[in-house]
Amino acid sequence: MNEFALEIKDLKKVYNDGFVALKGINLKVKNGDFFALLGANGAGKSTTLGIVSSLVNITSGEVSVFGKNLNKHRDEVKRKIGVVPQEFNFSTFEKVHDIIMQQAGYYGLPKAVAAANTEKYLKKLELWDKRDKQARFLSGGMKRRLMIARALVHEPELLILDEPTAGVDIEIRRTMWELLSELNEQGKTIILTTHYLEEAENLCKNIAIIKQGEIIVDTSMRELLSRLDKSTFVFDLEQNVKELDLLDNMTLTQGNQLEVEIKKGHSLNEVMQFFLTHNIQVQSVRPKTNRLEELFVSLSQTKGEKK
């Protein structure tokens, strides 16, 4: 079995209008990995995934999936990939069951296999009861799940999800996280882009950050999070502290709300001592953002380093 599910070498993409979307990126995703590809809007995430899934033409460079070169073995590579795009791209007038069966047909699955897989994944995604409904009558969350079922129907080894939980409520999002984790545990390699950094932090083992068509970070999630040199906490207080002389790491955001930056290796004791000294009652405390979000913002603002 090949060590890497995806290998990208010096991949460049220049669109017809001259926009350089990818400036020669290199990326390796291990077989069985749960990999996050993050970046701001327009950074090149969707272009990269679009090239891997044959939706965007390559300008130059090489893409291999499980050791097979995309340009030389396109059909074989396509059979190994399942794609969940960012935007709904099914015919809204078709019935749920027909959409999945058709996709199975495009992959050449015999009717009996297609029907069995369609039932399996519609049940798994809790859409079996909706199988005879036209897709336009589904809720946003159901439409997202429909796209996942469609991507899985031919049982791909590599699943590519471009913002799969965008616009989905938290309950469905958590159900989808469980499903994706289960698929990953079963051996499927998953590549995910998302704007919910909590999602990437919770699910993914490895991560790459792309900025203006270049990979600026390519490492493990654990290693990246260890780079975080400070955390910001928000304290909600009982009383107004406007008149007080605050510590250097404190910023008053409202009369009774403080943001406190704690450097790596430092504890919250000094801050708690300050509140005790001034007899200030703390109602609640929470991290301002999740850790990955804080890192992502700082990396996006500075010129990144290459691994």
Partner 1 sequence: MNQINWIAFLTIVKKEIRRYTRIWMQTLLPPAITMVLYFIIFGNLIGSRIGEMGGFDYMAFIVPGLIMMAIITNSYGNVAASFYSTKFQRNIEELLVAPVSNQIILSGYVIGGASRGMAVGVIVTILSMFFTKLQIHNIFVILAVSMLTAIVFSMAGFINAMLANSFDDISIIPTFVLTPLTYLGGVFYSISMLPPFWQVVSQFNPVLYMVNAFRYGILGVSDVNIWFSFAMLGMFAVILYTVCLYLLNKGTGIKQ
Residue 137 within binding range of partner 1, rule CB under 8 A: no
Residue 76 within binding range of partner 1, rule CB under 8 A: yes
Longest dimension (CA), the chain: 75
Give the number of other Cβ atoms within 10 Å of residue 141's Cβ: 18
Task: Draw the binding track, 5-34, toward partner 1 (x: CB under 8 A; -: no contact).
Answer: ----------xx------------------
State the minimum distance, in angstroms, from the CB of residue 244 to partner 1: 57
Q: Which of 50, 141, 164, 213 binds partner 1 (CB under 8 A)?
A: 50
State the minimum distance, in angstroms, from the CB of residue 193 to partner 1: 16
If the CB atoms of residues 84 and 207 are measured against partner 1, the closer one turns out to be 84
Give the separation between CA 152 and CA 149, rounded to whole angstroms: 5
Q: Which of 98, 157, 163, 199 binds partner 1 (CB under 8 A)?
A: 98
Give the separation between CA 100 and CA 115, rounded to whole angstroms: 9
Pick the stretch among 1-9, 47-55, 222-230, 237-245 that binds partner 1 (CB under 8 A).
47-55
Q: Which of 107, 177, 233, 275 binds partner 1 (CB under 8 A)?
A: 107
Residue 227 within binding range of partner 1, rule CB under 8 A: no
Residue of 172, 166, 83, 84 lying closest to 126 (CA atoms) = 172
Q: What are the strands of the beta sheet with 60-65, ordered from one edge?
A: 20-30, 4-14, 60-65, 68-69
Pick the stretch among 35-43, 84-92, 175-183, 192-200 that binds partner 1 (CB under 8 A).
84-92
For the chain, the distance separating the N- and C-terminal CA atoms, rounded to the nearest angstrom, is 26
